Amino acid sequence: MNRIVFATGNEGKMREVREILGDLGIPVVSMKEAGLHPDIQENGSTFEENALIKALTVHSLCQDIVLADDSGLEVDYLGKQPGVHSARWMGEDTSYEIKNQEILRRLSGTSGEDRSARFVCVIAAVFPDGTTAETRAVIEGQIADAPRGEGGFGYDPIFLLPDRGLTTAELSAEEKNEISHRGKALRQMRPTIEGWLREEKTGVRWKLPE
Ligand code: IMP
């Protein structure tokens, strides 16, 4: 084991991951950079299941520490849809302009608490010996009245942070990383990875009790 492989092809996610885990002393690479192109069947019904499916699929192809995330938007008024289907909701190839407009349309006539929503992120880790770990984090907000902002991706233009009066598309990449579901879940996972790396170096885990 000499790398962390993050199971994504998304460069935006890789930037966030490197910012948070880049100083652990081992390279952090994407699947593509690791030369891996697995066919991942994301058919779980929870963020936890999907994150673990991705991480275990990549783990079966390499000897590295593997991390994967699964994330999405839960809109309470829509029964927590699009949820685990966030990327595929209304079709994978449908633009987010259209998806966001559809969410706004379905919420028309509602206000305040009725528009509550959250981004959820689960990070799964699989270590070279097959040990697994997961962390989950959320960022609470509301669906905005109209799309705003040029930053971020996906549902960011309609995800309002009521305390700031800004959507997550109006934050800089650094600001979003500090408070985002993915940033928080990655920071929660960090001590577990550090623990594994320490054990690897010292071999403490394999010492017989005296
Ligand atoms: P995943 O890549 O399978 O985890 O799919 C996550 C999907 O959830 C993305 O394609 C977006 O639709 C949505 N999503 C997750 N995180 C964010 C975010 O930070 N901003 C906007 N949309 C997000």
Q: For 155, which DSSP code?
A: T
17 within some domain: yes
172 within some domain: yes
Q: How many domains does the chain fold into?
A: 1
Could you tell me how many residues make up the chain? 210
139 within some domain: yes
29 within some domain: yes
Residue 71 Cβ < 6 Å to ligand 1: yes
Residue 155 Cβ < 6 Å to ligand 1: yes
Q: How far is the CA of 7 from the centre of ligand 1 (A)?
A: 14
Decide: pTM greater than 0.85. yes
Nearest CA to ligand 1 atom 3: 70
Q: How far is the CA of 206 from the centre of ligand 1 (A)?
A: 39
- Gap between the Cα atoms of 165 and 116, Å rounded: 14
DSSP β-ladder status, 159-161 and 4-6: unpaired
Instruction: Give tens-digit pLDDT for 11-56.
Output: 878 888 998 999 999 999 999 999 999 999 889 999 999 999 999 9
Rounded to the nearest 5 degrees, what angle is found at the Cα of 24, between the Cα atoms of 21 and 19?
25
**Amino acid (1-letter code) at residue 65:** I
- Gap between the Cα atoms of 167 and 156, Å rounded: 7
70 is catalytic: yes
Residue 141 Cβ < 6 Å to ligand 1: no
Q: How far is the CA of 73 from the centre of ligand 1 (A)?
A: 7
Residue 153 Cβ < 6 Å to ligand 1: yes
**Amino acid (1-letter code) at residue 161:** L
Q: Which CATH number does the domain housing residue 84 bear?
A: 3.90.950.10
Residue 179 Cβ < 6 Å to ligand 1: no
210 within some domain: no
DSSP β-ladder status, 116-126 and 166-167: unpaired
Place of tokens 């969410």: 103
Catalytic residue, candidates 23, 70, 93, 114: 70
* Boundaries of domain holding 185: 4-202
pLDDT attached to residue 9: 82
- Gap between the Cα atoms of 25 and 23, Å rounded: 5
DSSP β-ladder status, 65-75 and 4-6: parallel
DSSP β-ladder status, 166-167 and 159-161: antiparallel
209 within some domain: no
Instruction: Give tens-digit pLDDT for 63-113.
Output: 999 999 999 999 999 999 999 999 999 999 999 999 999 999 999 999 999
pLDDT attached to residue 209: 47
> Relative to the CA of 152, which ligand 1 atom is closest?
20
Could you tell me where the DSSP H helices lie in 24-125? 47-59, 96-106
34 within some domain: yes
169 within some domain: yes
